[in-house]
Amino acid sequence: MILGLVAGICTTAAVIPQLWKAWKTKKVTDVSPGMFFVLITGLALWTVYGLLQSDWPIIITNGLALCLNSLMLYFLFKYD
Amino acid sequence: MILGLVAGICTTAAVIPQLWKAWKTKKVTDVSPGMFFVLITGLALWTVYGLLQSDWPIIITNGLALCLNSLMLYFLFKYD
């Protein structure tokens, strides 16, 4: 159970170093917008899946990851 | 069930456009290695979690994502 929690925190928080780097350097040339489009689609579907199953760990981790990765997609358009 | 499958395919395959871009341009300056370190840690823990629970969908999606993201981390060091 702790293992799943730590795993969920890692996969949810992974985008934070990328957000920080983009915000600090204002450069995103080498980052693929396609990656974030596909990822956001997947995270949105996971969130809907969680809602349909009333599975709160799935809703919370994927919903938060959805917000963070959407911010990264915004940075990709802002700094390009 | 189909929803979870499509969601899993998206979150697993998301790194492919980034792999393609890095391989084509040979440039990874703006990509954060920290993102892939944290992500790989999380995916490895998810895979172990799946193994402990004998949950094959978790093992397969996270195991495959682990391989693809490890390849991206290799590109980050190779092209930097």
A17-71 pLDDT, tens digit per residue, is 999 999 999 999 999 999 999 999 999 999 999 999 999 888 999 999 999 999 9
To the nearest whole angstrom, how far is the Cα of B58 from the nearest Cα of chain A? 11
pTM of structure: 0.92
Q: Which residues contact B62 (CB under 8 A, 6 or more apart)?
A: B12, B43, B46, B47, B50
Residue B69 contacts residue B43 (beta carbons within 8 Å): yes
Which conformational region is residue B26 in: left (phi greater than 0), alpha (psi within -120 to 50 degrees), or beta?
Answer: left
Asked if B42 lies within 8 A of A3 by C-beta distance, the reply is: no
Residue A19 contacts residue A67 (beta carbons within 8 Å): no
Say which residue the tokens 């040339």 belong to. A29
In B13-72, the residues whose Cβ lies within 8 Å of chain A are 13-18, 20-22, 25, 27-39, 41-43, 45-46, 48-49, 52
Instruction: Nearest by CB to A17, from B3, B8, B35: name it.
Output: B35
Task: Grade residue A80 by pLDDT with cuts at 50, 70 and 90.
Answer: confident
ipTM of the complex: 0.91
Q: Name the stretches of chain B with pLDDT < 70.
A: none
Q: Which residues of A fall within a CB distance of 8 Å from B16? A: 35, 38
User: Given this model, what pLDDT does residue B57 score?
Assistant: 87
d(CA A31, CA B33): 12
Amino acid at B10: C
